[in-house]
Amino acid sequence: MSSAPSAERTPRSAKGNEMKYRKIKTELLQIASAYQRALRVSMVNQIVKCFEQDAFGVLVVGERADGSFWCVDGQTRLKAAVKLGIDEVPCLVFESRGKEHEATLFRLLNTQTNQSKTQKTKAQLCEGDPNTAEMIAIVERCGFKIAFNGEKSWPSIRSITPVEQAYERGLLTRVLGIIMKAWGETRDTHALQSPMLGGLTRLVAQHGEVISDTELVSRLKKYRVSQLVAQCEARKMQSGNRGDAMKDVLVQVWNHSRRNRIKDSEPIAGSV
């Protein structure tokens, strides 16, 4: 396994605290699900199958005031080590001030990796970021939840970016309220995906003053979201953006059989 870093290159944590190299028994290392990504068993099995001791690297571990050790970076390798029966693993240990501190370091360590937007949001929530906490609270008040662990069923939302965009515009409660009233009974998970969330946010942002939510919900109930998504994909060829394309589709839903129409885009063949 990797040797201890030299004194001249001793790594430091997010706040500049010196990280110290040491080996720690695997049975003492804990994992905080509050900020960690969901464990991928397939990756654990792959490490076990192709295990190379020299490539194991070091885990980044926080030692809390109570003496407990928390694996901040390297949980997949840790699980593989346990499965292989390895008693001790090399670690870089920093003085942890608690899970919020660890969550910050987790996010920073994973900034340059393929960490998903959902994983970053989960870490920010654990850090105590007030805007993230407020956004999640709104989502939950509206009867939904963020799919931090990869849930795919209603009412889990997997697309974080459009949720953030709606929140930043002050429209999240209204957008999620429309979705719940339109498709809550049918539990149509397509409504919780990026095209509808983004398109509805754009519609409300641009035309919210003239649109009645009650009437819009009544009109949306007549459609399966998959129908609207299909039209969105056709329009995407013109706009190049699913959010804008879905907004155009929703404008047509609103305009159908109305005298006072929103003049926003031209209908396409087969549109509502």
Q: Which of 130, 187, 131 is nearest to 156 (CA)?
A: 187
Q: Residue with structure tokens 């928390």?
A: 70
Mean pLDDT value across the chain: 85
Amino acid at 52: E
Distance of alpha carbon 251 from alpha carbon 203, whole angstroms = 7
- Contacts of residue 81, Cβ cutoff 8 Å, sequence gap at least 6: 26, 56, 89
Which pLDDT value is given to residue 239?
Answer: 62
Whether the pLDDT of residue 11 is over 60: the answer is no
Average pLDDT over residues 244-264: 88
Could you check whether the bond before residue 162 is cis, i.e. omega within 30 degrees of 0? Answer: no
In terms of pTM, does the model score above 0.75?
A: no
Percent of the chain exceeding pLDDT 70 equals 87
Q: Residue with structure tokens 């013109």?
A: 238
Partners of 18 in the beta sheet? 12
Which CA distances in Å does 226 have to 143, 158, 183, 234, 253?
22, 17, 12, 13, 14
Distance of alpha carbon 35 from alpha carbon 102, whole angstroms = 8
Whether the pLDDT of residue 6 is over 70: the answer is no
Whether the pLDDT of residue 3 is over 50: the answer is no
How many Cβ atoms sit within 10 Å of the Cβ of residue 268? 14
